[in-house]
Amino acid sequence: MISVVVVDDQELVRTGLRALAERDGDIAVVGEAATGRTGLARVRELHPDVVLMDIRMPEMDGLEATRRILADPGLREVRVLVLTTFDEDEHVFEAIRAGAAGYLLKDVSPDDLRRAIRVVAAGEALLSPSVTRTVLGSIAARPQTVLDDAPLRALSPREREVLEQVGRGLSNDEIAQALFLSPATARTYVSRLLAKLGARDRSQLVVLAYETGLITPGT
């Protein structure tokens, strides 16, 4: 059973997310909170597998709550899945840099919501395609963005190719197909990238691909 805490300042949203998440019987919402501060306390109390985290809330926003959750050694196994109504919200970049394992819009289908919870609980990272292609791309394209390709210097040419595919939002199986690798080899390369680049998960590899200029908007 996957345990979930829902943190959102709207009671109707929390109720709806609970009903949708628990529909198949393998996910249980064990707690709720209406502010980031209360949510942080509930997560520390309950140690859920996944936190569904809104961004804009009173007292403490979801970004700060996410940072504190993921900086707490006692919450090492907790995964944060950010939910928002803003498909162009610049805070998506901050959420992923803070260590959020995924970012979804609140108009996601019920099936995709449950799938996202399962993916994140299994230790994978998840970004909606619109976030990967549009939001991160637009942020990377801003004039004030300073690109630093220093992290790429430690990578082999093949590792750079794999990182580029991760940055485009491809799964391990899709990377294997694109680069003519076995799925096991693709997984090994992704694991190696996480270790070499000091990234918490796949989402942060996507950010690095944009920050280093390996991927640029429109390519």
Q: What is the pLDDT of residues 50-75, one digit of tens each?
A: 999 998 898 899 989 999 998 898 99
User: What gap in Å lies between CA 183 and CA 69, rounded to an integer?
Assistant: 32
Query: pLDDT digit string (tens) for 93-112?
Result: 777 777 788 888 888 889 98
User: Nearest-CA neighbor of 102 among 141, 70, 145?
Assistant: 70
**What pTM was estimated for this model as a whole?**
0.73
Strand ranges across the sheet with 2-7: 27-33, 2-7, 50-53, 79-84, 102-105, 126-127
Q: What is the pLDDT of residue 95?
A: 76
Q: Which residue in the block uniquely carries the two structure tokens 């509930």?
A: 42
Residues sharing a CB contact under 8 Å with residue 60, sequence separation 6 or more, in sequence order: 35, 36, 37, 39, 40
Q: What is the pLDDT of residue 161?
A: 94
